[in-house]
Structure 1
Amino acid sequence: MKKLCLLIGMLLALGTASQAGSGVTTITTDHGAAIAARATKLSRSMASAMQLDEGQYLKIKKLNTRMLIAVDDLKSRYAADPEILDQQLADAQQQYEQALADLLRPRQLAMYHEAQTNMTALSIMAN
C-alpha cells in the first residue's frame, strides 16, 4: 500500500526527466521509454494493491501513460506560470480520476481513495 501511495505521489509531483542526449531523436526515445517504464511500474503497483484483472490493468496502464505524457507536456508549456500550471495539473488529475472511476469497481475505487488519503496524510506529516 505504501508503494501505491508513493507512486501516486510521484505521478502528481513528476519532475521533468533529465534530458542528457546528443540529439532530439535520442531524447525523445529515452523520454518515451522513461514514461513507459514509469507507467508500467505505477500500473503494476496499482494492480497489486487494488487487485485489478488483466483487462483493467491494460486500460489503467494506457491511462497512466497518457497521464504521464500530459503532465510532462503541461509542465513544459506552463513552466513560466505556476498558477496556470497548478490549475492545468488539477484539471488533468480530475480527468484522470474520472477515467479511473469509470474503470474500477466500487471496492477498488475505495482502495484508491484510501491510498490517496494516506498519501496526503503522510505528506502533511512530513512537512
Structure 2
Amino acid sequence: TNTDERPPMDVITSAIRPIISSHFKPALLGRMTVIPFYSLDRDAMKVIVDLKLNKIKKTLMENNKMTLTYSQAVVDQIAARCTEVETGARNIEYILNGNILPRMAQQILTHMTEEEMPSKVNLGVDKKGEFTIKFQE
C-alpha cells in the first residue's frame, strides 16, 4: 500500500468515531485516543526483513563462524509475500522459521557430520521465486 493512497488519519477517525461511540460510553471515549491502523507498506516490510536477516547473519557468525550473504531479491521476495496476506510482518517470521532456517540448519548439520564446515552461505531466489541456499568453502 502506498502512503499517498491512504486517507488522512482525521478522515478515518471521523468515519469510525460513530461506530465506536455506539459501543462505548462517552466517559470512556473521552479517556481514549483513537489511532487508526494502517498496514505496513512494502518499503517498511523490506526494512523489517533486513533487520531479521541481519540478526540471522550475526547468529551464524557467532555460532558457526559463517558469513551470510543474501541478494536484494531475497528481501524483495519475502516482503512481497508479506504484503499479499493479512498477517503482515508476522509472515516474515513464518517464512524464515518455517522455510529458510530449517533447510539451512539441515544443510549445516550435514556439513558438520562430514567435518567440512563451509565459511559462507548465500541466500538467493531462483527463477521460480523459491529460496536457494548455497554454501561455499
Higher relative contact order (CA 8 A, sep 6+): 1
TM-score calculated relative to the size of structure 2: 0.33
Give the helix-richer structure, 1 or 2. 1
TM-score calculated relative to the size of structure 1: 0.35
Q: Specify the structure having the higher radius of gyration (Cα).
A: 2
Give the strand-richer structure, 1 or 2. 2
